[in-house]
Each structure stands twice: as structure tokens, then as C-alpha cells.
Amino acid sequence: MEQYIIKGGKPLKGEVNISGAKNAALGILAAAIMTDETVTIDNLPDVRDINVLLQAMEGIGAKVERVGKHVVKINGKGISSISIDYEYIRKIRASYYLLGALLGKYKKGQVALPGGCNIGSRPIDQHIKGFKALGATVKIEQGMIDTNAEVLRGNHIYLDVVSVGATINIMLAACMAEGKTLIENAAKEPHIVDVANFLNSMGANVKGAGTDVIRITGVQSLHGSEYSIIPDQIEAGTFMIAAAATKGDVVIRNVIPKHLEAITAKLEEMGACVEELDDAVHVFANERLGNTHVKTLPYPGFPTDMQPQISMLLALSKGTSIVTESIFENRFKYVDELARMGTNIKVEGNTAIIDGVEKITGAVVSAPDLRAGAALVVAGLVAEGYTVIDHIEYVERGYEDFEGKMKALGAHMDKVDMEDERAIQKFKLKIS
């Protein structure tokens, strides 16, 4: 098993290119099997979750052809099974988008209950409510969700909680239902809009994505398309935080600055400088930042997927900050790991009370989930001495070539097998 090794203390400097959005790509890939024609998808991030979903799609008979590192051609004509193997599902959350896609196209589908980051209980009742409203029967037996419909008919669906996953899943199925569907209290994240735009490029009729009411008029079939995925808001935000935390100066390219506004606003409140360019943001900081308070909320609020990273930054800032996690109940597991590095964070229920410290020191820590792992990497970049991060497979679920991109910004960071004494010596020699 490999780990990240980081020698902290170097300000990040230079330019970094952001990859395509993982959470948009997952919905788009699932949607791609809804046509029998070929779909070409560009700006696909080369990350673990995407590769697992592509394997799951191949597993049911879809043709998946990698044309380059970031381009894939998909053809769903040869699909011979509507049942997704448990092996793939337990590894990722968004495998359940295949359920919405299969239900829309074939009026039936079967997947195991999904995995993904262990950040809370993560029920799927709203997905099920949506499928049932469209006329499907949904059974959960022996860990499998089995859905089936004679006919799918559009309906009026009010989501009791704002859910990214349920909004996308219902949108997928409703695209090929008879008549009109109205999703009220829909999620508004940039990836919802991207999935809707992709569906429309295949001939679907989805209106209002990005607002809380989405109107879908079902069509009988979808056709092939060529589509490029939007940049990853969370990867970009993570580099923004890393630039500020290391008192660096970084231009973060291939982003949509509008998607980053909540993060930009918080960084500016803390005293960092953020310049918005056309498709880039320039982030720099010269001194220790000040405190602020953060509450995670659905888009356009502050994203829960950025909560560990900003909490880490606040742990180094002046004064006391309060971070309230209002989306997931178990997203502070990284706090104990950060404490090994010398931070002072107290968690009470869904709130973290963060007393900023002036410096932290390297330690051996373990990534409990994807974004928490990214926050530990940022901590390692700031800490005095060496930090070793275990369980980087979580980080690799969502960050493409994280160590490569950090190294290009001047970070002393590598991926090594800690049992390989020579690799560690090589890393130490390289930076001495």
C-alpha cells in the first residue's frame, strides 16, 4: 500500500490545471448508456471513482473505449444485463445513477445499496420516492435495490431534503418517462446543471436545472452526443485553500470562478487575496489569516465537500472560528488526525470550535475519507517536518495526480510505499 510523504514548509507557487468534475462525470457517464448511439465525453477526470464506474458499465455490456487519458467513447447498445455487480457498487456512491439510467431506458434496473465516503448515514429514501412517483415498484432485498415499471409516467415530485443524488437520479429516469415531470426543491449544484446539459445534448428536454424547480418532458429515445465536462469545483477549491495555507501564490486554471464564489468569499473574509480571471482564479496570501465562521449548505452555499479543507486552514488562523456541518452528521473524523499535528479543534455535535494555532508539526496520519484526506495533505504542506498520510486510496477517488500537481507547484510531496526504505531515502535526498 502506498502513502503520501510530505515535507512541509514550502509556499506553493505557479499554475495548476483543474481536471473535470468527478461528481458531474459520474452522472454523465451513467446517462451515456441511455442511448444506443455512441457518446464521446471529454475532460473526464482520471480518478478512481470514474474508473470504477466505467468498469461497472462494461460489466453490463456497454462498450467503453478510452480515446485518451481524458476522453472516452461509450456505446450502450450492447447492454445485456440490468444488474450491477456488488463488487463495483460497494466502492463508490454514484453507482446508483445507473439505476436511474437503466430504469429510464429499460424500465428496470438492479443495484446493490451504494458505498462512497462514510460521512453519515446517507439514506436514499428520496431517490426511491422519486422512482415510485414515476410509477416504478422499488424493492430492497438482501442489500439490493430492485426497480421495475410497466410504464414510467411523469409526475410532480417534491424532495423533502435537497439531495444532489436524488435530483440527478430522478432526472435520468424522468427523461425517458411518458409526459412531464416536475422536481421541486431540487439541488442546484453546478454538476446538476452539467448533467442536465448533457442529457439535453442527447435530445432530452430538461429545463430549469440550476434552480429549485426542474421541468422534464420525457422523450422516447436519446441520441449520441459529444460533450465536455465542467471543471471540478472542489478540486479547484482545495488548491485555493492549499495556496492560502502555505502563504503561496497560485493561479488555478480551467475553472468557472462563479462556482467558487462561496470559497472565494470565505478566503477573502480571512484576509487572503483572490483575483477572478476569465477561466482562472489567482490566490495568494503573505501572512497568517484571520478567523471566520462557516456553515455548509447546498449550492450556492458553502460546499460540505470543502468543509475539512477550510477547517484545516482555520486551524492555523488567528482567533476562534466556528464551523457548522449541516449536510452530513459524521464529517469531522479528520479532527483526531489533525490533532496529532498540533491543531486545537473541539467537536460538539455538528459544530467544530477551532482555536487557531501558529504552527503544526508533521506526523503519521490516516485519511478517513476523500476530502478529509485532502485536508491532511494541505496540513502536511504547512507542517514543520515530515508527514506521512495513510489510506490515500480515498484521496485518489477524487483527485487526479494530486502529488504530481502539488509537486509542480513546488511542494515536497511524493507517493511511496513506506515499507520501501530506499524510496523514502530517495525522497529525502531529492529535497535535501
Ligand X SMILES: CC(=O)N[C@H]1[C@@H](OP(=O)(O)OP(=O)(O)OC[C@H]2O[C@@H](n3ccc(=O)[nH]c3=O)[C@H](O)[C@@H]2O)O[C@H](CO)[C@@H](O)[C@@H]1O
- Binding residues for ligand X, rule CB under 6 A, total 21
Which residue from 14, 78, 120, 179 is in contact with ligand X, where contact means CB under 6 A? 120
Nearer to ligand PEP, 21 or 409 (CB): 21
Binding mask 299-338 for ligand PEP (x = CB under 6 A): ------x---------------------------------
Establish if 107 lies at the interface with ligand PEP (CB under 6 A).
no
Single-letter amino acid, residue 244 = A
Establish if 93 lies at the interface with ligand X (CB under 6 A).
yes
Angle at 172 between CA 167 and CA 173, to 5 degrees: 105
Establish if 94 lies at the interface with ligand X (CB under 6 A).
yes
CA nearest neighbour of 97 among 79, 81, 80, 114 = 114
Show the cell assigned to 304: 460540505
Establish if 124 lies at the interface with ligand X (CB under 6 A).
yes
Establish if 93 lies at the interface with ligand PEP (CB under 6 A).
yes
Q: Which does 123 bind (CB under 5 to 8 A by kind): ligand PEP, ligand X, none?
A: ligand X
Q: Please answer whether residues 233 and 205 qualify as being in contact, where contact means their C-beta atoms are separated by less than 8 angstroms.
A: no
Judged by DSSP in three states, 176 sits in coil
Q: How far is the CB of 395 from ligand X (least distance, A)?
A: 14
Q: By CB under 6 A, what part of segment 399-418 binds ligand PEP? A: none
Establish if 95 lies at the interface with ligand X (CB under 6 A).
no
Q: Is 142 left (phi over 0), alpha (psi -120 to 50) or beta?
A: left
Q: Is 309 annotated as a binding residue?
A: no
Summarize the chain as % helix, strand, coil (round to 5).
Answer: 35, 25, 40
Q: Is 123 annotated as a binding residue?
A: yes
Q: By CB under 6 A, what part of segment 206-225 binds ligand PEP? A: none
Which one is catalytic: 24, 84, 99, 117?
117
In this structure, which long-range contacts are made by residues 426-430, counting pairs with CB atoms below 8 Å and at least 24 apart in sequence? 427/5, 428/7
Q: Which does 127 bind (CB under 5 to 8 A by kind): ligand PEP, ligand X, none?
A: ligand X
CB atoms within 10 A of CB 287: 9
Q: Is the dihedral of CA 414, 17, 51, 214 positive or negative?
A: positive
23 vs 27: CA distance, rounded Å: 7
Q: Is 22 annotated as a binding residue?
A: yes
Which residue from 111, 252, 280, 370 is in contact with ligand PEP, where contact means CB under 6 A? 370
Establish if 161 lies at the interface with ligand X (CB under 6 A).
yes
Q: Write out the DSSP string of 113-170.
A: PP----SS----HHHHHHHHHTT-EEEEETTEEEEE-SS-B--EEE-SS--HHHHHHH
Nearer to ligand PEP, 119 or 134 (CB): 119
Q: Which does 126 bind (CB under 5 to 8 A by kind): ligand X, ligand PEP, none?
A: ligand X
241 vs 263: CA distance, rounded Å: 9
In total, the chain counts a number of residues equal to: 432
175 among known catalytic residues: no
Positions that interact with ligand PEP (CB under 6 A)? 23, 92-94, 116-117, 119, 305, 370-371, 398
Residues that bind ligand X (CB under 6 A): 23, 26, 93-94, 120, 122-127, 161, 163-166, 187, 304-305, 327-328
Catalytic residues: 117
Annotated binding site for phosphoenolpyruvate: 22-23
